[in-house]
Structure 1
Amino acid sequence: MSDGQQSRCGWVGAEQLYIDYHDQEWGVPVYDDRMLFEMLILEGAQAGLSWITVLRKREGYREAFDKFDPEIIAGYGSDKVAALMENPGIVRNRAKIAATIGNAQAWLEMMEDGTAQADGGAFSKFIWSFVDGKPIVNRWRDLSEVPAETAESQALSKALKKKGFRFVGPTICYAFMQATGMVNDHTVDCFRYDQVL
């Protein structure tokens, strides 16, 4: 899809929110622990839905889930869950809400016991260790070439599940890796391909 002279990846819709996300965020390497946690939760929320649905609710998620603060989310009780189930600003799916709380608890456990630390770092270093600390640069010419999952996303999924995370299957993990720049999956004709290198 193009906007004037700019060619974009074929998955980008016409909505400005979608265009802005693609042009400013998607595929840019993310190393911030909180932002990585946010993206992991949002990618899990997308399961069975379109990404634009989740993008439209992103601000609602930030508000409903205390700006994705794992320490706060990990302590949510039944009253908070009931309130979230009534909140139209998020995907009101009990399993996904429960997974978000459980994922926050798993995240905190990793931080406390040090298992997230590869080399004395934090969640970011754990996540990035699955691509040896640097983005995998692909050279896809067409959207049809882009895989739904890879060996790296399968390994990440397995490791996260072992640590108690849910809604982190290999396809979700690959979408997470694409979004956070662990892989550059902009097609080579996209104007962002070279920019995110």
Structure 2
Amino acid sequence: MPKFVLCLLALSLLLVGCGGPRLSVDPDWKDAPKNFHVIASAPYVANADDLTDDFRDENSFRRWFATYLDSSLTEYSVAKPSVKIVDDAVFSTGLLKLGDEFAKFPLPEVEKLEGIGGVVIAVHPVRFWRDATPCPNGGCIGGKHLNVMMSYTIVAVEDMRVLAYGVARVNDSFTFAMTRGNWESVIKGAAKQLLEDTPLKK
């Protein structure tokens, strides 16, 4: 598992465990642009079989993920998004303070991207996995969940001013088998969290 993903997991556990803040927004950021870019790394899915059950293959899932994230952000934002899946190499990392802790967050290397300007949401990494709530003594059917977690920053790329950053984490429950509806639910929830407390949110 990539080192950055392990760091994201550790940060998420820290925030959940201590009840710390999930995001930070520059209080001087008041106005939303007319449009914004979203660059996201290719999503990592812990169980590859989950992809073949609901999508044909990894490439089909990546295309669907970008399209559905775009439509979800469109639904919840006052501005028009444009979502693009990019290589991990276009991200660097910045050490930013969240609550009482410092953690690494993704920053776009704009010189490696064409046609990207204005406000950019950099999302890296993107990780999906499933887990289950333990059932005491095996006397019931434990609850199952699809999870998604994303580390992100929102940057004004002209001067590389960091406008907001945080960790989006969402889960959706199912009983027996996952459906496409579970994937849709967690992406919608993550889209809301990417925009939370910012001028971009409706």
Which structure exhibits the higher relative contact order, with contacts defined as CA atoms closer than 8 Å and separated by 6 or more residues?
Answer: 1
Determine which structure has the larger strand proportion and give its number. 2
Question: Scaled by the length of structure 2, what TM-score is found?
Answer: 0.26
Question: Scaled by the length of structure 1, what TM-score is found?
Answer: 0.27
